[in-house]
Structure 1
Amino acid sequence: MPNEFFPIIRSHLYGPGNNVKILDKIFDTEADAVVLDLEDAVPYDQKKLARTMVSEIIADRSYNSRPYTFVRINHPNLKITEEEINLIVQDGLFGIRIPKVESAEDIRIVEEFLNAQEAKCGMKNGRIKIICNIESSKGILSAANILQASDRIVGFAFGAADFAEDINIWKPDNFSFLYPKSHLVLVSSAFAVQPPVDSVFTDLNDEDGLRKSSLFAKNIGFFGRSAIHPKQISIINDVYTPSSEEITKAQSIINALHNAEKQNTGAVNMGGDFVDIAIVKKAEGIINLSKSLGIIK
């Protein structure tokens, strides 16, 4: 369940920073956040053009408007981080994604440029948030150190394709990534940041596979998913939106324990299910999420 200090983002839609046709429409989808991509989706000889195009788009956005605006920058090793940060840090930018993060040093390099540009723009220090894309075994094993590198970090996003290549997974399925994903969930919880964001699902025609994969990730502690096409957004949003049945059950659980407390009882048997304070906290999380999404008042 997302933490209250950060907006609810179920879907993160990627868009190539050099593709005018896609960028013209990307903010008109049902995605909760848009990730303007300067990295893998943009050939090196077009990165300068993409930086300019993305900068112009951000100039027309506002910080708290939906969908929230993120930019996936290039890894600091490419030595163009300062140029990117200087162009994209504007009022309309909510956060950045740093790809292939493997160490705290990766974060510190980017933060130095963010600090300088925020000061230059008259912004509050730390306003621009960071999501760390974890895409390798080194990134997984360094996750705790990475989170401690900056207060800007709000969470992780998992990169399945690069991770599969890194550890030589031939034909990946959900269980191929169970350990690294679970590790990110545990580290995120321990350091009280947002639950991790799931990787893109590359088969655009397999809607059933997208739903099952998203449910699997949700059930091990992820919240939200990256997408590469608008047609995937409705399924992703649906998976991470409480159903009417879940809301009804959650409210019943809360009411049942409140009634039990009036009778000085710490737990209650509800239709054969044992309900205690831990179950109630989960139910309260569902209700709070539903209120944040405007499903209930």
Structure 2
Amino acid sequence: MDASRSYLFVPATDLVLIKKAVSSAADVVIIDLEDAVASSEKETARKVMKEALKAHKQEQKIIVRINALDTAFWEADVETAINGGAAGIMLPKAEDEQGVQKVADKIRQISGGKDKAFELIPLVESAKGVQFAFAIASADPMVSVLAFGSIDFSLDIGCELTPEGLELLFARSQLVIASKAAGKGSPIDAVYPDLRDEEGLKKQTVFAKQLGFKAKLVIHPKQLAVVHQVFSPSKEELTLAREIVEGFEKAEKNGVASIKIAGQLVDYPVYKKAKKILQNRIIKQ
């Protein structure tokens, strides 16, 4: 199971910035051909991305955010990303299963069907996308996880973004539930745009984790430490998880399925959660 906690955006226009992103602590780097690139620079950015993939694809997992399906750029973006050796594609403004399937089919056509390890990450950032989240997640086996774009979503529905994030509670929960129902991994939470507000970043990341997210989109390397801390179990949590797993498995062999460990009632759901923590363990760093 993918234990990636952070997905760092970097513009596809600057090889130096891309090299810095690849050298950072990010679990995944997203080379951005969409919002970070002016319309007049799309072709140039694609060339830079191709060069960056050639130089760094062995060092880091690199995803490419292509342009939206309603543009003239997306097909060339997909072709360059695949031929360059990207690990996957992020599809912005994903709103229905037809659009996701269109991109998946294009990927298979270009790759000659050699897409077994290739990821397609739909970025949900509109009311329609949230409404049809399950259909988007279920559209194709290539879809690995959904990602949430809160800024465009807030513009679409006309809500005001707040540090507390209650206005996004339904949308976030919808993506978590739809992902689970579709048999996909936990979704990736939205970016936190204020680089000066580390405490706000931590609060929002904790809130997302409480809702069921396991990773976050990031716009600067300085945000990585906080995101990794929140989405990684501490040494104390790992120790308790081991005690729970070992104690429960010992009790189960004796026909007991409910015990107490460290003052906590442990039954099958608690045991399964502890086991999952150990399976996906990444110690805080």
Matched residue, 2:177: 186
Percent identity reads: 32
Tell me the residue number matched to 1:164: 154
Asked if structure 2 preserves the Cα contact closer than 8 Å seen for 1:102 and 1:134, the reply is yes
Amino acid at match of 2:38: P
Q: Is the 8 A contact 1:126 1:151 kept in 2?
A: no
Partner of 1:37: 32
Amino acid at match of 1:212: K
Name which of structure 1's ranges 18-27 and 176-185 shifts more when overlaid on structure 2: 18-27
Displacement after TM superposition at 1:259 (Å):
2.9
Q: What is the deviation of 1:289?
A: 1.3
Q: Which residue of 2 aligns with 1:251?
A: 242
Matched AA of 1:286: I
Matched, 1:270 2:244: no
CA distance in 2, matches of 1:175, 1:238: 23
Q: Provide TM-score, normalisation by structure 2.
A: 0.94
What CA distance in whole angstroms lies between the structure 2 residues aligned with 1:270 and 1:107?
46
1:211 aligns with 2:206: no
CA distance in 1, matches of 2:104, 2:250: 50
Q: Show the counterpart of 1:151.
A: 141
Q: Which residue of the other structure, out of 20, 23, 28, is the alignment partner of 1:25?
A: 20
Corresponding residue of 2:98: 105
- CA drift of 1:177 comes to 1.0
Any idea what the Cα deviations from partners look like across 1:155-186, whole Å, max 9, x if unmatched? 11101111111111124332111111111111
Unaligned 5+ runs, structure 1: none
Q: Aligned residue for 2:231?
A: 240
Q: Which residue of 1 aligns with 2:214?
A: 223
Report if the CA contact (8 A) 2:186-2:214 is conserved: yes
Q: How many positions carry a matched residue from both structures?
A: 283
Q: Which runs of 4+ in 1 moved over 3 A?
A: none
Contact 2:127 2:156 in 1 (8 A): yes
In structure 1, the residue matched to 2:107 is 114
Q: Kindly state the Cα deviation for residue 294 of structure 1 after the two structures are TM-superposed.
A: 7.4
Deviation at 1:91, TM superposition (A): 5.9
Deviation at 1:92, TM superposition (A): 2.8
SS of residue in 2 equivalent to 1:130: strand
Contact 1:33 1:66 in 2 (8 A): no
CA contact (8 A) 1:111 1:150 kept: yes
CA shift, 1:32, in A, is 0.5
Note if contact 1:17-1:51 (Cα within 8 Å) is conserved in structure 2: yes
Q: 1:61–1:92: 8 Å Cα contact kept in structure 2?
A: no
Deviation at 1:144, TM superposition (A): 1.2
Q: Which residue of 2 aligns with 1:131?
A: 121
Q: Deviations over 1:4-23 (max 9, x none)?
A: 2xx32111000011123312
Question: Is 1:48 matched up with 2:38?
Answer: no
Unaligned runs of 5+ in 2: none
Q: Secondary structure at the match of 2:62?
A: strand
CA distance 1:94–1:37, change in 2 (3 Å): same
CA contact (8 A) 1:61 1:93 kept: no
Counterpart-to-counterpart distance in 2, 1:237 and 1:294: 9
Q: Distance in 1 between matches of 2:110 and 2:248?
A: 51
CA contact (8 A) 1:32 1:66 kept: no
With normalisation by structure 1, the TM-score equals 0.91
1:80 deviation in Å? 1.8
Aligned in 2, Cα 1:128/1:271: closer, same or farther, shift over 3 Å?
Answer: closer
Paired amino acid for 1:132:
P
- Evaluate the alpha carbon distance shift between residue 267 and residue 91 of structure 1 in structure 2; reply closer, same or farther with a 3 A threshold: farther
Residue 270 of structure 1: how far off its partner (Å): 2.6
1:208 to partner: Cα distance: 1.1
CA separation of 1:108/1:259 partners in 2, compared to 1, >3 Å: closer, same or farther?
A: closer
> Aligned-residue CA RMSD in angstroms?
1.6
